[in-house]
């Protein structure tokens, strides 16, 4: 962890388990890694902060994981669960689940969700601050994008992933947990949104001002945690329930909300 000059890793063939969490965390120069055939356990956040990682290869003899179709990701073969991804990953058709913290603080700039994906964990793209392009296959039964540069859960109309280029769809009623990975400097939330989830704008350092419509009735704890440059918040309504720590560590706000 925190080896800024490490560029390539080839793990030994005798390795069976990779324990812990962020084993290669913040190895910002790491470009490629090879996972040998005997590895049976890999933690999801193994590549946290590896912003340059482009190539992930799993040995074809591995019975637990694969990197099918040169997707540059680690997938649990039996369940089609994407465990870990990177800047060079392609989420190929056939993947059903995108796991927690699988792209945590990654360098990925674009993501496309194929029709096969059934579930995306709320922390899957946590703090992937370079993300600017988000699309969803139109045949996906669970999620949609509709040229909005966001991911919206069809059943709940909750937006679960967004970035600075996002145009919020009219159907959206909730901003999900950890939804925004980056923002424009000024953001106007449209009328119709009813809630802002836990960590929805976590550490969005580019956010300077936000206008929150009267339709919002609830803002959860840490919704705007550590938005260091947030200095202006306009609440259009008078009945919004704001959790005690919703704006925690927003040091530039002149008064508590």
> Can you give the CATH number for the domain in which 242 is found?
3.80.10.10
Claim to verify: residue 202 and residue 250 sit in the same structural domain:
yes
What values do phi and psi take at 149, rounded to 5? Answer: 55, 50
Residue from 125, 68, 76, 69 nearest 97 by CA: 76
CA angle 39/104/48 to nearest 5° reads 60
The closest of 218, 222, 227 to 198, measured between CA atoms, is 222
Q: Within a domain: residue 143?
A: no
The alpha carbon of 183 is separated from its chain's Cα centroid by a whole number of angstroms, namely 13
177 and 257 in a single domain? The answer is: yes
Q: Are residues 84 and 176 in the same domain?
A: no
Task: Answer for the pair 188, 166: CB distance below 8 angstroms, yes or no.
Answer: no
Q: How many domains does the chain have?
A: 2
134 and 150 in contact (C-beta within 8 Å)? yes
The verdict on residue 136 lying in a domain is: no
Q: Does residue 137 fall inside a structural domain?
A: no
Q: Do 1 and 127 lie in a common domain?
A: yes
Q: Could you tell me the CA-to-CA distances from 212 to 18, 225, 242 in Å, in that order?
A: 44, 16, 12
Distance between first and last Cα of the chain:
38
| Half-sphere CA count of 162, side-chain side, radius 13 A | 29
The set of residues, in sequence order, having a beta carbon less than 8 Å from that of 255 and lying 6+ positions away, is none
pTM for the structure as a whole: 0.94
Q: d(Cα 179, Cα 151) in Å, to the nearest integer?
A: 9
Residues 127 and 156 in one domain: no
Please report the sign of the dihedral spanned by the C-alpha atoms of residue 78, residue 54, residue 12, residue 6.
Answer: negative
Query: CA–CA separation, 118 vs 93, rounded Å?
Result: 11
Query: Is residue 138 one of the residues assigned to a domain?
Result: no
The pLDDT score that the predictor gives to residue 2 is: 56
- Give the separation between CA 227 and CA 231, rounded to whole angstroms: 9
Cα separation, 139 vs 104, whole angstroms? 27
Last residue of a domain, one of 131, 163, 188: 131
Q: Tell me which residue of 8, 9, 67 sits closest to 37, measured CA to CA.
A: 67
Whether 112 and 194 map to the same domain: the answer is no
Tell me what pLDDT residue 6 has: 82
Asked if residue 117 and residue 206 are part of one domain, the reply reads no
In a domain, 176, yes or no: yes
Q: d(Cα 131, Cα 87) in Å, to the nearest integer?
A: 10
What is the DSSP track for 167-234?
A: ---TT--EE-TT-BSS--SEEEPPTT--EE-TTTTTT-TT--EEEE-TT--EE-TTTTTT-TT--EEE
Residue 118 sits in the same domain as residue 48: yes
140 in any annotated domain: no
Same-domain pairing of 101 and 197: no
pLDDT tens per residue, the chain (257 residues)?
557 778 887 788 999 998 776 678 889 999 999 999 999 999 888 999 999 999 999 999 999 999 999 999 999 999 999 999 999 999 999 999 999 999 999 999 999 999 999 999 999 999 999 999 999 999 999 999 999 999 999 999 999 999 999 999 999 999 999 999 999 999 999 999 999 999 999 999 999 999 999 999 999 999 999 999 999 999 998 889 999 999 999 999 875 55
Is position 104 within any domain?
A: yes
- Residues 164 and 119 occupy one common structural domain: no
Is 146 inside a domain boundary? no
Containing structural domain, residue 255? 152-257
Domain finish residue from 85, 101, 131: 131
Are residue 164 and residue 249 in the same domain, yes or no? yes
Q: Minimal CA–CA distance to 47: which of 65, 77, 26?
A: 26
**CA-to-CA distance for 84 and 145, rounded, in angstroms?**
23
41 and 127 assigned to the same domain: yes
């Amino acid at each position: 962890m925190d080896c800024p000059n490490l560029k390539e890793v080839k793990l030994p063939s005798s390795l069976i388990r990779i324990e812990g969490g962020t084993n290669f965390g913040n190895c910002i120069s790491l470009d490629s890694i090879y996972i040998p055939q005997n590895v049976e356990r890999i933690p999801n956040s193994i590549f946290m902060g590896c912003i340059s990682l482009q190539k992930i290869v799993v040995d074809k003899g591995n019975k637990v994981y694969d990197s099918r179709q040169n997707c540059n990701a680690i997938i649990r073969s039996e369940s089609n669960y994407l465990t870990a991804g990177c800047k060079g990953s392609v989420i190929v058709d056939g993947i059903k689940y995108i796991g927690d913290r699988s792209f945590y603080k990654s360098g990925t700039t674009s993501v496309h969700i194929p029709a096969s994906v059934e579930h995306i964990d709320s922390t899957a793209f946590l703090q992937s601050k370079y993300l600017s392009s988000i699309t969803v296959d139109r045949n996906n039964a669970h999620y949609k994008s509709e040229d909005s540069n966001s991911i919206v859960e069809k059943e709940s109309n909750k937006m679960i992933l967004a970035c600075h280029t996002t145009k919020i769809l009219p159907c959206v009623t909730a901003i999900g947990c950890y939804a925004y990975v980056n923002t424009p400097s000024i953001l106007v939330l449209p009328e119709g949104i009813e809630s802002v989830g836990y960590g929805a704008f976590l550490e969005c350092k580019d956010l300077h001002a936000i206008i929150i419509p009267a339709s919002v009735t609830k803002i959860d704890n840490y919704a705007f945690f550590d938005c260091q440059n947030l200095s202006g918040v306009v609440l259009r309504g008078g009945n919004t329930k704001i959790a005690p720590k919703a704006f925690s560590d927003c040091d530039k706000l002149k008064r508590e909300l």
